[in-house]
Structure 1
Amino acid sequence: MHSFWSEKSLILVLLMVACVLLVAVLGLLFVVPYWGFAGIHPMLPQVAGIVFALILAGLLAGFGLLMAAIFLGRDVPFSAWLRSLSAKGLLPLLIAVGRLVGVSKKAVQHAFVGVNNELVLASVRSRKKPRRVLLLMPHCIQFSQCPVRITFQVDNCKRCGKCPIADLLRIKERYGVDLAVATGGTIARRIVVETRPDLILAVACERDLVSGIQDTLPLPVYGIFNERPNGPCVDTRVPLDEVRAVLASLLEKA
């Protein structure tokens, strides 16, 4: 797995490549029809130039702010808009650029979640600590042979210790946060709507974390990758020390 700094570097490089490509495409979209504009009206080339310049300036400003936030690790103006832009607009572009330069989709998703986490932490730390935090877990962390139903009611857990649920319940009680287990995206969205958290700390695989971050915008989601000693979707594990560290960082500040 990449370290955070390599993830940050990867996203920055892909952003720069994407920025160059977008500028080139916008240039072609302007230059190709430019000479025909004058045949419609003598002022149309100048008007078109201004419009394209404004679009280009907006794109470059967005890219610049995002790069500054990633590089500095601090909150910047329009941070919520930047997270939305990166999750819904830029991520597909970064995946496409990654393929062009030989970077796998999974690696780009992994790096994206790491950078998203840094943006979320910077945004949250610049404001009052969140009043309501939701720990959102995938159903696959429950012991696969367990007969107890914990979806929607995680307190049904018998705390036998065969899966991470018992430890997560102790973390829930220690920090006074909400804990929920979802079997899929639809139920996860329902839980979020019912809980109305200020911050979500979600554990899942790369694909589910990325889709969850996109689906819950503009709510901030801090993503943690699950551990899969038995393969995907069966008796997966939670990096509990990372969960505790994030909660301590966010909720125990002065």
Structure 2
Amino acid sequence: MVSPRSAKTRSPLEQEIRDSFQTRKRVFIGLITGSSVLICLFLAMVWFIPFVGLTTIHPAAPWIFGFITVALILAIGWAALALVLNILLGRPVLFAKRLRGITVKLFLPLMTLLGRFVGIPKQTVRASFIKVNNELVRGEGHRYPAEKILLLMPHCIQNSRCKYRLTYDIDNCKRCGDCALAGLLDLRDKYGIRLAVATGGTIARRIVVQHRPSLIIAVACERDLASGIQDTHPLPVYGILNSRPFGPCLDTDVALDRVEWAIKEFLA
């Protein structure tokens, strides 16, 4: 399948992101396929085990229950297939846009458990999920006005020694350059988008309600991005992993060129 953009026209950053996605998507596809098979087998067993007992209720009860079970199996298989085809083809197919949220909410916890069982770390599963989610969001092909794009940052991106509180007013930042917020504010001013800092999931949800964006470009760790993508569905979230030179939740950083690339990718 030929990508809509040839490799010759891709920027180095876009090519790097594409290559990274290619290595991640196999993990996601393998886990979601395995998860769907397990669910379908479970549903088949739920129908088979009480098959004899249901006949005492009504002769047709096993077949009615079986019809419902088969319908659920087909729905789950359809959802998984639609998502996998969306990943491989780079565009929504088989109503994948509507099924994406249901599939992600259903499969991600099971994929995490399955990944742990086969020795794949939870962080790797989440990172793969984020990569696939980003590709699906891009595949929808929507563009948004600047005022409808929200850059959502974690509070740990602020220098831990900074005395200014930025959670409720990002413009309290003095742009000293000791953290990435100065560069993020420059991007906000350059493109006219919105920028906010959240101290946790509750504050992040409040910010989303206040700003009512059409798209969120979020920076966080694998755990927070994965849960945030689930919590805000159907609102599209494009996730960018932060860097953690001092460990989690302390003086984290983000590649500003990746953030700017994402802004330009979705800006109308």
- The TM-score range, normalised by the shorter chain, is over 0.9
Shift, 1:198, TM fit: 0.2
Partner secondary structure for residue 222 of structure 1: strand
What are the equivalent positions in structure 2 for 1:154-173 lying under 5 Å apart? 154-173=170-189
Residue of structure 2 in register with 1:103 after alignment: 120
For structure 1, list consecutive stretches of 5 or more residues without a partner in the other structure.
none
| TM-score, normalised via structure 2 length | 0.88
The 1:195/1:205 distance shift into structure 2, 3 A limit, reads same
The 1:76/1:177 distance shift into structure 2, 3 A limit, reads farther
Residue of structure 1 in register with 2:235 after alignment: 219
Q: Is residue 264 of structure 2 the alignment partner of residue 248 of structure 1?
A: yes
Q: Is residue 42 of structure 2 the alignment partner of residue 37 of structure 1?
A: no
Partners of 2:84 and 2:158 in 1: CA distance = 39
Residue of structure 1 in register with 2:45 after alignment: 28
Task: Select the residue among 133, 136, 149 that pairs with 2:152.
Answer: 136
Letter in 2 for 1:26: L
Partner secondary structure for residue 3 of structure 1: helix
Shift, 1:150, TM fit: 1.4
Whether the 8 Å contact between 1:134 and 1:197 is mirrored in structure 2 is yes
Partners of 2:204 and 2:37 in 1: CA distance = 37
Residue of structure 1 in register with 2:164 after alignment: 148
Shift, 1:130, TM fit: 4.7
How many residue pairs were aligned?
Answer: 250
Shift, 1:78, TM fit: 3.9
Letter in 2 for 1:129: Y
**Aligned-pair Cα RMSD in Å:** 1.8
Partner secondary structure for residue 111 of structure 1: helix
Partners of 1:158 and 1:135 in 2: CA distance = 19
Residue of structure 2 in register with 1:89 after alignment: 106
Residue of structure 1 in register with 2:226 after alignment: 210
Partners of 1:188 and 1:217 in 2: CA distance = 14
Question: What is the percentage of aligned positions where both structures have the same residue?
Answer: 48
Letter in 2 for 1:76: V
